[in-house]
Amino acid sequence: MMKQDEILLILDFGSQVTQLIARKIRELNVYCEIHPFNISIEKIKQINPKAIIFSGGPQSVYGENAPISDSRIYDLNIPLLGICYGLQLIAHQLGGKVENSSKREFGRAILNLNNSSSLFSGFNSSTEVWMSHGDSLTSLPTGFNSIANTTNTSIGAIEQKEKNIYGVQFHPEVHHTKEGKKIFENYLFKISKFNRTWSSSSFITSSINEIKERVKNENVICALSGGVDSSVTAILLERAIGKQLHCIHIDNGLMRSNESKYVVETIQNKFNLQLHFVDASKLFLSKLANVEDPELKRKIIGNTFIEVFEEEANKIPNTKYLAQGTLYPDVIESVSNMGPSATIKTHHNVGGLPEKMNLKLIEPLRELFKDEVREVGKLLGLPNELLNRHPFPGPGLAIRVLGSITENRLNILRKADSIYIEELQKNNLYDLIWQAFAVLLPINSVGVMGDERTYENVLALRAVTSTDGMTADWFNMPNEVLGIISNRIINEVRGINRVVYDVSSKPPATIEWE
């Protein structure tokens, strides 16, 4: 955990958008952390938050397995804001009444303000919000006031001013709530009295000090793939411990075209890092032979990754740490102990590691979102070409070649993906897209080439827009550009006779196909 003077604690009750609360808080230059709803009072006291937010959640407070926090939280005299389920839990635990509503609310609603509460300071008499609830608060706890309502919900927000306890029945964290950011601003600065102390520069300073304190005289090896996350991790560590850092670039056979050459030329030469190059492509591909299950692929890659690293680490004396570019969304999306949210998939650098490791993990970016990482990288002097690269998954092309992985199928995908990215850059679309990539499907289709029947691979193109990768919309690719890309791939890449474009958003789909 980062050492911060002021921390806002977010307790996760199972909402799929809990991480959006954290993003909004960080944007306001306040440091926050997400912890599970059942965190102990002792742990909360140890964290010593300046304020707390209860997230939303899919369950009813009366449900058999409803997530319920320790009621002693209300005795800590810490400002508290409950969102949706969080509001209902506060009311339920403090003596109010929550009931299943005959008129559920999902989607946009007009919130009418009926009290001059600090939470809505600077608001007009009404504002547009985003609702998502079946239960409603029908009776207030003693000492609470209703400060807002909608057509279907008589109690849309509550406050207990003396104890600084607030609740809203809607979701201020989603962009559909027009003035959601202002609500958080009021809660943070007017009610909880935070200072704006969180920034990329303050993160760099505190991280360097923390790394020095933890590592001392030991050596650290860093997995340097050449992507934004690993590159920022490496430069941050180099600033902290200098030559105690040994970067290792593994060619696992699952990289994009000329990836290793790019890493050496862009990262090693510019920043003078100690770089150890390992060609383990045959080892990885042999272990992945005939493996089709995506989760098994991740486990194999994660285990092999650690094996190779430990072998390389044995060549470097006094090595005790393995550094990885794990990000906060990786942690949230992979690990169920962040709350009762469903695990979507594991990430190779979070859930795919063997339980027993000979090296201790150090993950300096573990509490950052992607845009924060890019800002940190910019301050550290990384070139824009690298910072603006689209995210690339840890398991590499293994999860973009659906089904069995072979060298031939990898080469087909590499060529097609290179053409795709080249055309996006040529048409000035690359920087408008969060992530774009090609996926080789495990099916063939009938085609006609040169008056002959073909039965070859289908390739899917994916391009999405996003802020932090937690939610994403498919990119509205110009038809003429899609036509050029499809034509080039089918003509130039032997083995593909059909190209399709993915128009799914996240949720319900994920960005990657596996």
Tokens of 260: 């290793």
Tokens of 464: 């999405």
Where helices occur in 314-443 by DSSP H, the ranges are: 328-334, 370-380, 384-387, 407-426
Q: Which of 6, 105, 159, 173 is catalytic?
A: 173
Q: Which of 6, 32, 84, 375 is catalytic?
A: 84
| Rounded distance between C-alpha atoms, residue 92 and residue 44, angstroms | 21
| Rounded distance between C-alpha atoms, residue 269 and residue 265, angstroms | 6
Nearest CA to 133 out of 59, 239, 211, 224 is that of 59
Q: Could you confirm whether 42 is annotated as catalytic? A: no
Tokens of 139: 């009776």
Helix axes 294-313, 281-288, angle to 10 degrees: 150
Nearest CA to 493 out of 463, 449, 462 is that of 449
Q: Residue 443: left if φ>0, alpha if ψ -120 to 50, beta else—which one?
A: beta
| H or E element that contains 492 | helix 479-492
Residue that is written with structure tokens 């994403």 in the block: 472
Alpha-carbon dihedral angle through residues 112, 113, 119, 123, given to the nearest 10 degrees: 90
Q: How far apart are the first and last CA of the chain?
A: 30
Residue that is written with structure tokens 């383990």 in the block: 280
Angle in degrees, CA 108, 190, 164, rounded to 5: 80
Tokens of 330: 């990786």
| Rounded distance between C-alpha atoms, residue 150 and residue 166, angstroms | 17
Q: Could you confirm whether 84 is annotated as catalytic? A: yes
Sign of CA dihedral 265, 271, 272, 276: negative
Q: Which residues pair with 449 in a beta bridge?
A: 452
CB 499 within 8 A of CB 485: yes
The backbone torsions φ and ψ at residue 81, rounded to the nearest 5 degrees and listed phi first, read -125, 125
Residue 238: CA count within 13 A, CB half-sphere: 21
The backbone torsions φ and ψ at residue 39, rounded to the nearest 5 degrees and listed phi first, read -55, 145
Q: Which of 171, 246, 347, 348 is catalytic?
A: 171
Sign of CA dihedral 215, 217, 218, 224: positive
Q: Which of the residues are catalytic?
A: 84, 171, 173
